[in-house]
Amino acid sequence: MSSEVAAASAPAAAKTDGWEPKIVAFCCNWCSYGGADSAGMGRFQQPASTRIIRVMCSGRIDPLHVFNAFLEGADAVLVTGCHIGDCHYVNGNDKTKIKYKYLENVVHELGIEKERLQLNWISASEGEKFANFIRDVTAQIKKLGPSPLKPEGVA
């Protein structure tokens, strides 16, 4: 096993220099997507590492969307939505919260670093919070290097 681990991490080390991680952020239509929008409108500095996928509610984010993002080469996946109590479908994010608990456990047990999967509640007016979040995650992932689930040949 050890030689394979070495083989898997070798290109990782080489790539870290000047390498931009790919981060997939799931955002709900009513809050965190608005947050991303305000981040842009407010011209808050943020790296170009993020690919946003808009869903109607964070409750729509199926854990298998997250697995799929990793298998397709995401270096980190962010699950975001309205603050608890503010979900536009009453309790969608309560369901997100418990689904996330399972997901987080599975991803952790699998041996994926915890920085690669993160949950955050961001309102439509919290542009700065969104930008800071992306900046922080990008910095963390740059330190970690590419995801071990990234398929061969995918940047």
Partner 1 sequence: MQKGEMYVGWSTKEDVRKRGGSGGLVTSMLAAALEKKLVDAVVVLKKINEFEAVPIITSDVNEVLNSAGSLHSVPSHFAKLIANRNLKVALPAKGCDVRGIIEQGKRNAINLDNTFIVGLNCGGSMHPVVTREMLEVMYKIKPEDVHGEEIEKGKLIFETKDGKEHAITIDELEEKGFGRRESCRYCTIKVPNNSDIACGNWGVTGDLVGKATFVEINSEKGAKLLQNAVDAGYVQVQKPDEKGVAMRAKIKGVMEDLGKKWKGKVFVPIENGRLEYFRKELEHCIDCGACKTVCPTCSCGEVSKCTEYHSRGDAYKMSMYHLVRFLHLADACIGCGQCSDVCPVDIPLTRLYRRFANPVQEQLKYEPGMDMRKPPYFEVKLNE
Stretch that binds ligand FES, among 2-10, 42-50, 52-60, 130-138 (CB under 6 A): 52-60
Torsion of CA 79, 81, 85, 90, to 10 degrees: -100
Give yes or no for a contact between 61 and 103, defined as CB atoms under 8 angstroms apart: no
> Looking at residue 58, what DSSP letter applies?
G
Q: Which of residues 104-123 bind partner 1 (CB under 8 A)?
A: 105-106, 109-112
Among 24, 25, 28, 69, binds ligand FES (CB under 6 A): 28
SS3 state at 26: strand
Taking the complex as a whole, the smallest distance from the CB of residue 79 to partner 1 amounts, in Å, to 14
- Using rule CB under 8 A, residue 85 touches partner 1: yes
Among 1, 41, 48, 155, binds partner 1 (CB under 8 A): 1
- Using rule CB under 6 A, residue 88 touches ligand FES: yes
d(CA 149, CA 18): 20
Q: Which CB sits closer to partner 1, 37 or 106?
A: 106
Stretch that binds partner 1, among 2-10, 24-32, 39-47, 130-138 (CB under 8 A): 2-10
Can you list the alpha helix ranges (DSSP code H) found in the chain?
2-15, 32-41, 63-72, 92-110, 127-144
Closest CA to 66 of 32, 34, 100, 28: 100
Taking the complex as a whole, the smallest distance from the CB of residue 125 to ligand FES amounts, in Å, to 14
What is the contact surface with ligand FES in residues (CB under 6 A)?
Answer: 28, 30-31, 57-59, 81-82, 87-89, 92-93
